[in-house]
Amino acid sequence: MQNCGFNEKEQITDLLTLEKHLAGSYNSFALEAATPEVVNCLGELLTDTHRMQQQIFAEMSSRGWYPTPKAEDTKVMEARQKFSPSKGN
């Protein structure tokens, strides 16, 4: 099978993009499903898609193709304060 000129990094990036789109689609379909059986089936597909996305991400990360820099401590604290429940609610 020919790769049509795509290198390995481009192919894996394409797979990751596909998994992200599938997850969004399965989620939308599950929200619109008419029966519990269909909702459950789509939920299982969504879980499988998340698992595959995580595996692809881990592979890309291990190769240095998807770097995730550590967040600055001040940014983490700001996010915690912003999204933590207010006292007294």
> Up-side HSE of residue 72: CA atoms within 13 Å toward CB?
3
The candidate with the shortest Cα–Cα distance to 26, out of 54, 47, 57, is 47
Give 85's pLDDT tier (boundaries 50, 70, 90): confident
> Up-side HSE of residue 10: CA atoms within 13 Å toward CB?
5
Tokens of 86: 């207010």
Average pLDDT over every residue of 77-89: 81
Asked if 15 contacts 59 with a C-beta cutoff of 8 angstroms, the reply is no
Give 4's pLDDT tier (boundaries 50, 70, 90): confident
Q: pLDDT tens across 22-78, in order?
A: 999 999 999 999 999 999 999 999 999 999 999 999 999 999 999 888 999 999 999
Q: Which helix (H) or strand (E) holds 6?
A: none
Tokens of 78: 């700001």
